Structure 1
Amino acid sequence: MSTPISQGVSPKRVASSPRHKKSISKKFTTPARLGIYAFLLSAAIFFLLPLYIMLVTSVKSMDEIRLGNIFALPMQFTLEPWMTAWSSACTGIACEGIRGGFMNSVAIAVPSTIIPILLGALNGYALSFWRPRGANILFGILMVGAFIPVQVMIFPLVRILASVDLYSSLPGIVLVHTVFSMPVMTLLFRNYYSTIPHELFQAARIDGGGFVRIFVQLVLPMSTPMIVVAAIMQLTGVWNDYILGLVFAGREHLPMTVQLNNVINTTTGTRLYNVNMAATILTSLVPLTLYFVSGRWFVRGIAAGAVKG
């Protein structure tokens, strides 16, 4: 006796049927979906249009810029404004470009990113797993620091650093960035560690692990998503900082943002808009590259617990 053949319709035939295609097109043309697309498109144009203007202006000659059409592509492409901005643009009486500011920003940003992340991870680990007496009170006091404006603390910090011979020095500006980043770094890691099962910590304690061993061998390797998030936030904030670098770095360690301001505000005759735009893009190149390269890690880290707790 023959087995009856199934009369079911294959998924490929369903997916290619006119009724299925019509339902998909109807789903993507609803007013809500069209509104989302319109908002995303307008937001993209709003944020990308200034970048486009800076890019096309930075590769034009001044004669072409004087024509007044800022949206037009360059008729004659040139990289001379970029070379001038990097190596010979005047910042006050010195005409050495912003390359010195780039090296200063690197020297400031690298330790100002690594040290706060390590200390923030250590604070979050202690507050999440070991919970010393008064941990919640200490955490609350630390969080108050996140809401104190930077301008309020500048004068006291100037006096304190001057009394210990750290004012206008590289260690001094690194220390200032570390102090101001502690509340946010601690909050990020504490909230992330609160999502880790406490049983893992208890099992490590039973196996004889101490404070440092558990942190180095267990907790820190599990913190990669949050370390990426913290690194992006801290490096971007330190690199884009202006006021702290201007006040605490000193003349020999002025960051790139301060050098950019000096380039733009230094006028000896005609204002060179193409050089100013090139210097601006060079200054923002590191944060832009960081977001493009590690944007996926940033979103993954946020989803892994950066805003939980």
Structure 2
Amino acid sequence: MTRSAEINPRGAKPTRITAGRIGLYAFLISAALFFTVPLYVMIVTSLKTMPEIRAARIFALPDHLDFSAWKVAWAGACAGAECAGIRAGFLNSVLITLPSVVISVLFGAINGYALSFWRPRGGNLMFGLLMAGALVPYQVFLYPLVRGFAALGLYNSLIGIVIVHVLFGLPLVTLLFRNYFVTIPEELFKASRLDGAGFWRIFLEIMLPMSVPMLVVAAMMQFTGIWNDFLLGLVFAGRDNLPMTVQLNNIVNTTTGERLYNVNMAATILTALVPLAIYFFSGRWFVRGIAAGAVKG
């Protein structure tokens, strides 16, 4: 056996360092720093005392770990006259996000399934209108929705904000599932029809179990978008149902004397912690779903 064969038994060519490869790695490193540096600053600032923060050493590690800012941010930070911390909006965000995600993903899956296999009369037109509506900015719909929800008694209510998120999430979720279902062989659908299966049986027993990767993708995208929403929660939720993002804005903009940057940073991290954890633990499923057809069609 020759020395070259020992070094490279499969006969693969050695990796060449090219200008394109250097540029690619430079871009990836820059993109990683773009996100990690602010996160690092937020974390170290939240663990510092105010005298350390006033020393203006923004990248320096804290002299000692101080979690008091996190405790204040969770249960003691003031938003106007109320000093209940960010936890006042945590339960509201959960109550808003979970039903909104479940309903929008379920309806989007049904829409995508119907448009891909059953092709109802006028389905293409309805799908086009749905996509066109998704391109219109939210702000255009705010006043008509406020007037309509007020007339129905749904304005400033938990049910109202859930319906709003479902309505605005349906176009994207429908598009994802439609593009996913068109990658499934139509022969499987036709064989199910020959066996006497109807609309709901095919959907629940065949199509839905096959679309688990897309269910994860759609749920993660909806969860992140709804949890991080500020505008719709501020307009439609009402004072008793304000989500964490609105509570965070109220805490950051409430100042009595010294601005507590460590508390503000801790409150920001706490607000973003749930979607970050979901992406961290479910990132593999997200990539699988994207690869399985989220961008096909």
Alignment TM class, shorter chain as reference: over 0.9
- Cα deviation 1:204-240 (Å, max 9, x = unaligned): 1111100111100000000101001101110000000
Query: Which of 122, 147, 162 pairs up with 2:135?
Result: 147
The residue number in structure 1 matching 2:65 is 77
Mapped contact 1:59–1:274 kept (Cα < 8 A): yes
Query: Which of 97, 109, 112 pairs up with 2:100?
Result: 112
CA RMSD of aligned residues (A): 1.6
Residues 1:274 and 2:265 are matched in the alignment:
no
Report the residue type matching 1:128 in the other structure: S
Residues 1:288 and 2:276 are matched in the alignment:
yes
Mapped contact 1:104–1:255 kept (Cα < 8 A): yes
Give runs of ≥4 in structure 1 deviating > 6 Å. Answer: none
Report the residue type matching 1:209 in the other structure: A
The residue number in structure 2 matching 1:125 is 113
1:194-205 pair list within 5 angstroms: 194-205=182-193
Report the residue type matching 1:212 in the other structure: W
Q: CA deviation at 1:30?
A: 2.2
In structure 1, what is the Cα distance between the partners aligned to 2:111 and 2:34?
Answer: 39
The residue number in structure 1 matching 2:180 is 192
1:141-290 pair list within 5 angstroms: 141-290=129-278
Give % identity.
63
In structure 1, what is the Cα distance between the partners aligned to 2:20 and 2:166?
Answer: 45
| The 10-residue stretch of structure 1 (107-116 or 136-145) with the greater mean CA deviation from structure 2 | 136-145
In structure 1, what is the Cα distance between the partners aligned to 2:84 and 2:122?
Answer: 53
Report the residue type matching 1:87 in the other structure: A
Q: CA deviation at 1:134?
A: 1.3
Q: CA deviation at 1:39?
A: 1.3
Report the residue type matching 2:40 in the other structure: Y
Query: Which of 11, 27, 30 pairs up with 1:39?
Result: 27
Q: CA deviation at 1:84?
A: 0.1
Task: Choose 1 or 2 for highest CA Rg.
Answer: 1
The residue number in structure 1 matching 2:55 is 67
Mapped contact 1:28–1:34 kept (Cα < 8 A): no
Q: CA deviation at 1:250?
A: 0.4
In structure 1, what is the Cα distance between the partners aligned to 2:120 and 2:6?
Answer: 59
Residues 1:98 and 2:86 are matched in the alignment:
yes
Q: CA deviation at 1:273?
A: 0.2
Q: CA deviation at 1:29?
A: 2.2
Q: CA deviation at 1:291?
A: 1.3
Report the residue type matching 1:30 in the other structure: T
In structure 1, what is the Cα distance between the partners aligned to 2:118 and 2:33?
Answer: 49
Q: CA deviation at 1:305?
A: 0.8
- Cα deviation 1:45-70 (Å, max 9, x = unaligned): 11100000000000000011000000
Q: CA deviation at 1:15?
A: 4.3
In structure 1, what is the Cα distance between the partners aligned to 2:236 and 2:19?
Answer: 53
In structure 2, what is the Cα distance between the partners aligned to 1:203 and 1:262?
Answer: 57
Mapped contact 1:57–1:65 kept (Cα < 8 A): yes
The gaps in structure 2 that reach 5 residues or longer are: none
